């Protein structure tokens, strides 16, 4: 692609391997054990599944796997890892990744180089139609290249506004204007849809104004609800059913609720679902982040997130905490849980 927004993929070893594997599975009897999916999304440590990880991923509370750069060596190897995960059980586990572009792009070699999303916003300021076209192309590129190796979902688009305040968001944000963010995100999600992939808007209601990094601290945003709805949260309402999933921020908005948004019934149930009409799946952000520590231990964090309205919770980089959660969490599926998850994966 031109203008430096996305480069050309090279070295696409193993292209189509995942699709061929899926076709073979369709033609053969399905011997995978039938285990309903649960609400927990975990990670794995290396380039292929270890026996202990296979056992962990068979737990009925597990519903997905998130991949990181450490899980990637080549497209062929990644396709094999995704196939191993999908072959464990039925319905198959969701395989997801943070693959936004710029500094948050987990897979590099053999994948198109994606510029930071801020570059799309700058392109918008020069040429609106070109920016919309490129946003759609980027969505198609992300979705196509990930689906070719068996990844089901990228946690994108970032809907945070570019307030020039947050280092952790920074150039990951599309623009400072909520209307531009919504338009570019709609084009990006359309491109993802054309490639057969869903989407996940983040970090609701907005992380761009908070100074602290929620990986390391609990940020606060002291603006009132009217201001947040008029600006940072506006893209979520405008995008409507184009959004299939949302991830809330580990940020406190004390003039709205003393709990971080990801643990807040007011934010997730009253505002996101009822006021803004969101009907898709809600993922927590990683519960091992420092911004989630206010809710207690890992089991308490998961309970708080699920009680607030999250459908699925992420536990990353701490297999010990993953085991503690699987041993201690008591969970019954919500009526719409599987419907929302199927809608996200059925593209």
Band the pLDDT of 16: cuts 50, 70, 90: low
Give the start-to-end residue ranges of the domains of the chain: 65-84+100-317
Q: Are strands 312-315 and 40-43 parallel, antiparallel or unpaired?
A: parallel
Superfamily of the domain at 65-84+100-317: Glycoside hydrolase, family 3, N-terminal domain (3.20.20.300)
The answer to whether 42 touches 65, Cβ cutoff 8 Å, is yes
Reading phi first (left if > 0) and then psi (alpha if -120 to 50, else beta), residue 334 is in beta
Question: Among 321, 312, 249, 325, which Cα is nearest to 288's?
Answer: 321
Is 215 one of the catalytic residues?
yes
Q: Which residues pair with 3 in a beta bridge?
A: none
Q: Spot the catalytic one: 190, 213, 215, 323.
A: 215
State mean pLDDT over 24-28.
55
- Two tokens, residue 240: 């409507």
What pLDDT does residue 27 have? 57
Which tops the pLDDT comparison, 347 or 214? 214
- Two tokens, residue 65: 């796997």
Task: Provide the whole-model pTM.
Answer: 0.90
Is 285 one of the catalytic residues?
yes
- Count, in order, helices (H) and strands (E) of the chain: 12, 12
State mean pLDDT over 247-253.
96
Between CA 100 and CA 183 the distance in angstroms is 17
CB contact set of 91 (below 8 Å; sequence gap of 6+): 36, 37, 342
Which tops the pLDDT comparison, 285 or 167? 285
Q: Is the pLDDT of residue 26 over 60?
A: no
The answer to whether 304 touches 295, Cβ cutoff 8 Å, is yes
The dihedrals phi and psi of 144, each to the nearest 5 degrees, come to -65, -50
pLDDT in tens, 224-239: 999 999 999 999 999 9
Q: What percent of the chain has pLDDT over 90?
A: 84
Q: Spot the catalytic one: 162, 171, 285, 286.
A: 285
Q: Are strands 94-97 and 62-67 parallel, antiparallel or unpaired?
A: parallel
Band the pLDDT of 215: cuts 50, 70, 90: confident
pLDDT in tens, 118-171: 999 999 999 999 999 999 999 999 999 999 999 999 999 999 999 998 888 999
The dihedrals phi and psi of 132, each to the nearest 5 degrees, come to -65, -40
The answer to whether 284 touches 326, Cβ cutoff 8 Å, is no
| The dihedral sign for the CA sequence 36, 304, 295, 251 | positive
- Two tokens, residue 312: 């699925």
């Amino acid at each position: 692609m031109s203008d430096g927004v996305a480069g050309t993929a090279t070295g696409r070893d193993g292209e189509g391997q995942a699709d061929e594997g899926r076709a073979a599975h369709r033609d053969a009897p399905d011997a995978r054990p039938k285990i309903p999916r649960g609400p927990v999304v975990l990670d794995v440590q290396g380039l292929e599944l270890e026996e202990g990880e296979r056992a962990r991923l068979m737990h009925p509370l597990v519903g997905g796997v998130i991949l990181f750069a450490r899980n990637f060596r080549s497209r062929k190897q990644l396709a094999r890892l995704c196939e191993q995960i999908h072959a464990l059980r039925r319905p198959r586990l969701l395989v997801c990744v943070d693959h936004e572009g710029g500094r948050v792009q987990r897979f590099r070699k053999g994948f198109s180089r994606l510029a930071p999303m801020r570059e799309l916003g700058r392109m918008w300021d020069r040429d609106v139609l070109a920016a919309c076209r490129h946003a759609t192309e980027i969505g198609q590129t992300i979705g196509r290249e990930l689906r070719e190796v068996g990844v089901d979902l990228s946690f994108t688009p970032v809907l945070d506004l570019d307030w020039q305040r947050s280092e952790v968001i920074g150039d990951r944000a599309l623009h400072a204007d909520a209307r531009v963010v919504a338009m570019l995100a709609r084009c990006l999600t359309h491109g993802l849809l054309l490639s057969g992939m869903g989407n996940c808007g983040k970090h609701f209601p907005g992380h761009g104004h908070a100074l602290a990094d929620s990986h390391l601290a609990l940020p606060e945003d002291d603006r009132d609800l009217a201001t947040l709805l008029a600006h940072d949260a506006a893209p979520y309402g405008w995008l409507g059913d184009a959004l299939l999933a949302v991830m809330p921020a580990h940020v406190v908005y004390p003039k709205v609720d003393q709990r971080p948004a990801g643990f807040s019934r007011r934010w997730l149930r009253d505002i996101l679902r009822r006021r803004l009409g969101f009907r898709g799946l809600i993922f927590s952000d990683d519960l091992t982040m420092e911004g989630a520590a206010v809710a207690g231990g890992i089991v308490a964090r998961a309970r708080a997130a699920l009680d607030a309205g999250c459908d699925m919770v992420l536990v990353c980089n701490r297999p010990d905490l993953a085991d503690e959660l699987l041993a201690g969490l008591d969970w019954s599926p919500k009526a719409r849980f599987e419907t929302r998850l199927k809608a996200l994966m059925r593209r």
